[in-house]
Homo-oligomer: A and B are copies of this chain.
Amino acid sequence: MTQVRQTKRTTIYDLAELAGTSASAVSAVLNGNWKKRRISSQLAEKIMRIAEEQGYALNMQASLLRREKSHIIGMIVPKYDNRYFGSIVELFEDMARARGLFPIITCTRRDPELEVEAARTLLSYQVECLIATGATDPDRITEMCAAAGVRSLNLDLPGALAPSVISDNFAGSRELTRRILLNCERRLGRKESLLFIGGRGSDHNTSERIRGFREAHTELGVAVQEENILTCGYAPEKAEKALDDLALRGNAPAKGMFVNSTISLEGVMRWIRRSGHLDDRNLVLGCFDWDPFVTLLGNGIEMVRQDVPGMLKKVFEIIESGSNKPVVIQVPPLIPDAQNI
């Protein structure tokens, strides 16, 4: 019961002894190329039976040390707290396994230090390829990988040194902004300058989304109010605080809002409920990201759903093509039909 370490784990040498054969034969049988190595099916069956009986499990470390390819693919991901990253991780694992790769994923909480640390660790595990998802400094990671002779790709946020697969943030944002403005007109009687909230001004996605936001305003003949662009970060509390600050500065909060992530939307919704500044039936909201419950919130919130399967398909295409060219592939997000009012 309290045995600290039971009898050492079974190795191919143990099996060889039990089967009265050599470790070499055991290895060949267990990794499936015993036909190539001309092992008789009699011996093969015997070895497999004994392995089964002994509950043999391969020592991957030993196996990988010897083999030239690890078949491990690594991914770093910022958070697990929303549907976007959750579905990326889930589908990535699936697609990796379908290709005979073993996925190792690690979460870095948007912390640049942890990102580098995690990348270094994954490299130690001999990943063949590293996907940096939503990394704060993707090029740093690409450089580390390059030094180790390992391929890397960026997902969600682009870098300058490796291929990147991202959403078409500009087009998605422009369309989302259009819809919010039109909803304003329909529900409030007139289009008015929207509030933009969430994200980091320094990140590519946010700045592209702001560009789309401006473009849609221009197209529809609405002037953007600069003080209404609040790139306060992603955390819910930051969005709440940004709205508080805006109110403190004496600005009437806009009735239409472009929220830059579901996580920021949490903060926005809390602020709306708490502050009582706005009756949320008069609010016109849109969110760049998707969550099933948001649909049900009943404010007719428009959402842009990033095309995760489409993006991962591209990622694996690039991996399989072997290309390292630092292109940026933009995948159009899905914009569901207009919500219930």
Contact = CB atoms under 8 A, between A and B. Distances in A.
Dominant secondary structure of chain A at its interface with chain B: mixed
30 contacts: A2-B322, A5-B149, A55-B144, A55-B148, A57-B124, A57-B148, A58-B124, A59-B124, A60-B124, A60-B126, A61-B61, A61-B62, A61-B126, A63-B124, A80-B85, A80-B89, A80-B90, A81-B86, A81-B87, A81-B90, A89-B107, A90-B107, A90-B109, A93-B106, A94-B109, A236-B292, A269-B293, A273-B296, A293-B294, A297-B297
Interface residues of A, number: 64
Specify how many copies of this chain sit in the oligomer.
2
A266 interface: yes
A319 B118 CA distance: 24
A21 interface: no
Quick one: which of A4, A7, A8, A62 has the most chain B CB within 10 A? A62
A176 B5 CA distance: 44
A151 to B, nearest CB: 10
Given A103-B106, A296-B273, A322-B2, A123 B57 contact: yes
Contacts of A126: 59-61
Contacts of A70: 61
